[in-house]
Amino acid sequence: MSERLLRVGTTYIPVSNVELSSEWYVNKLGAELGYKDEDKAILNFANQSIFLVKSKENQSSNFYDIYGEERFSITFEVNP
């Protein structure tokens, strides 16, 4: 097989407020805002596209492992 994965293209993150969330990612993590409307924002950083998608309150992309521990589906490593 000669095909290879080039990169993880897009990660979708549920948010309740697209405006505030996109500002946070831009100001705190240095993301570049590529597009924004009332339902979603497209951020580019760390060679990846992050879609902030307006969702219902208290949505999470986390999951529970077989021991009942909540796990994150994505984490960020940043410079202090």
Residue 80 lies in a domain: no
Residue 49 lies in a domain: yes
The tens digit of pLDDT for each residue in 35-44 reads 999 999 999 9
Structural domain boundaries, residue 38: 10-71
CA pseudo-torsion sign 56, 57, 58, 60? positive
What CATH number did the domain enclosing 57 receive? Answer: 3.10.180.10
Residue 76 lies in a domain: no
- Number of domains making up the chain: 1
Residue 56 lies in a domain: yes
Q: Can you give the pTM of this predicted structure?
A: 0.82
Mean of pLDDT values over 23-50: 94
Residues 21, 2: Cα–Cα separation, whole Å = 39
Q: Are the C-beta atoms of 70 and 63 separated by less than 8 Å?
A: yes
* 45 three-class SS: strand
Residue 2 lies in a domain: no
Residue 78 lies in a domain: no
